[in-house]
Amino acid sequence: MRLILLGPPGSGKGTQAQRLVHRHGIVQLSTGEMLRAAVAAGTPIGLQAKEIMANGGLVPDSVVVGIIADRIDEPDAKKGFILDGFPRTVPQAEALDELLRKKHLKLDAVVELRVNESALLARVEKRAEETRARGEEVRLDDTPEVLTKRLAQYRSMTEPLIHYYSERRKLLTVDGMMTIEHVTREINRILTALGALEPKEHEEPKAASRAAKKASKAAKKTTRKPAKKAAKKAAESAKKATRPAGKATKTASRAKGAGKGAKKAAKQPAKKAAKKAAGAANARKGAKVAKKATKKLTKKRAKR
């Protein structure tokens, strides 16, 4: 992760930079500290800067960029870095872009801590009053007068960077008037959303768990409704499909009953006819027997 923090004096850049360094294992690169380290180490760029500063001159952008180039090549900067105090002007930002391009590195984001200047001045005045009340001496760089000058300098020199990085879609603005904890959470949230940070496994497990549960519930609801609808439709279709079969069964049952009735009806006249025929046969047989008996009786009478 490669990051720039922007914001006026007193906006909390230093505090948030240290928190990012501690959490993500990256390094904070302060131009002032890098210049002093380069001078102490006696590097070619450091010696050049030493000579310029000894003559009371301002270190040119080319020298500062050279010191940054050397510093980001060191092993501890491989994982990422936060630039603090650089760039301060648009030309410095352009020089930094060129440096990163040559090194095939990408600037992930520029985080602007936006604050209310009148609130900052009120805060400094209160701090100065409390320091005097304790009988302590107020720091020369921690007075409303000094802060007013530094804020004016920031507006004239550094604020154009907001437009510069906004055009390149690198600028992310955070409300610097929130509590330190809220500002830290917001910076981490937007950097994670950008993909510049990977959330650590041991941090915020509850939040991750809640997010996973919500996603799971949403997925279940999404799948349950269509499944229920499909099951209902299938049941209705099956019911409709069985209705004609039921009608056919009833019709077949009725036809079967009718067949039995017809068979029964057909059987009854046949039985009656057979009975009558049997009766008629018996009557003829009886008539024959009676006739024979009559003949025998007539013969017997004649003999007498």
Which residues are part of the catalytic machinery? 13, 88, 127, 139, 150
Rounded to 5°, the CA angle 17-91-99 comes to 70
> Do the Cβ atoms of 33 and 103 come closer than 8 Å?
no
Helix or strand (DSSP H, E) at 111: strand 109-114
The full length of the chain comes to 304
Neighbours of 274 (CB within 10 A): 10
Tracing tokens 């020298």 back to the chain, one arrives at 63
CB–CB of 113/15 below 8 Å? Answer: no
Residue 170: phi, psi to the nearest 5? -110, -15
Place of tokens 């039921």: 246
Rounded to whole angstroms, how far apart are CA atoms 87 and 164? 11
Contacts of 46 (CB under 8 A, 6+ apart): 35, 37, 38, 39, 40, 67
- Do residues 112 and 158 make contact, with C-beta atoms less than 8 angstroms apart? no
CB atoms within 10 A of CB 36: 15
Pairing of strands 2-6, 81-84: parallel
- Which residue intervals of 27-102 are DSSP H helices? 31-41, 44-54, 61-71, 90-102
Encoded tokens for 38: 């380069």
